[in-house]
Amino acid sequence: MKSAETLLAMDRCERLAAWSQSWQVPAIHPTEVLKAAVDAGLLTDEDDPGQLAGDMVMTEAAERTLDIEGSQYSCAMNLAALADIIVTAIRASGGPWARPADLVGKTMTWESGAFLEPSGLRLRRVVLVSRWNSERFLAETNSWKCLGEVSIYQMPMTMTVVLIGQRRDGRHHSPWSKGWLHPQSRTLRIRKRSGEFDGKWIECWRETSDFNKEFWIEQLRQDYVLNDVLFEKQIKVPEQGVMAKIRHLAEKKLQRLAKMTETPEPTLSACFWPTPCKFAKGACWQFREPSERTGFVRISGSDCVAVPKA
């Protein structure tokens, strides 16, 4: 796990953070697949980074299966098309992104999950959300993935927000994935214009349509939707005293995790909210440790990471 992800897990439940260092669940959540694929597409130097992101979704879905009810194939196809078009839209005017260098402290290392702008003076982050409001903005800007990374590297951050819509019946309902066809002309529309979208218009999903991603993105732009589902927020650097406290807190929490010799107690109120914990059903609520015998997959990795002192 990246350092910020580990800290987020610790804030929710120290048991989750501890187990996540060594174990994966066999079925992967669709949002995790999408985020990993988008990250890979942003980092790659392949000629078609969107295609690489989509292919990665299909590979992950085949090798680990998706943690959903319903059609695995339909969900994977929707996620693959979504990863493809998002990466293509974000990378439209630039080359591959890069990660900032790890920061090495006296005992451990901060491994960043953020990206670094070509200038080397500003961090980047991509946030995939079903919806956006002022509460979500505060949650994101004060999370370890934002405030933590900014404080560790002492750089401002550009946060790219991508609205992917809610997932229902295995598909994300958003302008990235869903449009409407005129019943006669087969004209694609993403947003209703005056006098359009009566009951005769035909639902159109990108993964099953004949429209390529470049055309779809252009239609998002022409229907004045693109800026609603892809926009940026600028995050400033806190004052030095605040950054020093955040860096100290991060180091303290991660070192405590690294020194644990016993499994932490469960945090029962956090097992199923705001999202179900991946260890809740298979281990925690059966009062047993994760194991290969019960379906979990052991992962290899370094010890828990921490930050250099401020």
User: What dihedral do alpha carbons 88, 84, 118, 307 form, nearest 10°?
Assistant: 150
Q: Indicate the pTM of the whole model.
A: 0.92
Phi, psi of 95 (to 5 degrees): -85, -165
Q: pLDDT at position 196, please? A: 67
Beta strands in the chain (DSSP E): 23-24, 103-104, 109-110, 115-116, 123-129, 157-163, 166-168, 171-173, 178-181, 188-189, 202-205, 230-235, 297-298
**Domain residue limits, the chain:** 3-167+229-298
Q: How far apart are CA 211 and CA 39, in angstroms?
A: 24
Count of all residues that appear for the chain in the document: 310
Q: pLDDT at position 301, please? A: 52
pLDDT digits (tens, 9 = 90+) for 135-185: 999 999 999 999 999 999 999 999 999 999 999 999 999 999 999 998 888
Phi, psi of 246 (to 5 degrees): -65, -40
- Residues in the chain with pLDDT < 50? 302-310
Q: pLDDT at position 37, please? A: 98
Q: pLDDT at position 260, please? A: 93
The two tokens of residue 6 are 């580990």
Residue by residue, DSSP assigns 45-63 as -SS-HHHHHHHHHHHHHHH
Q: pLDDT at position 30, please? A: 95
Q: pLDDT at position 106, please? A: 75
Q: pLDDT at position 93, please? A: 76
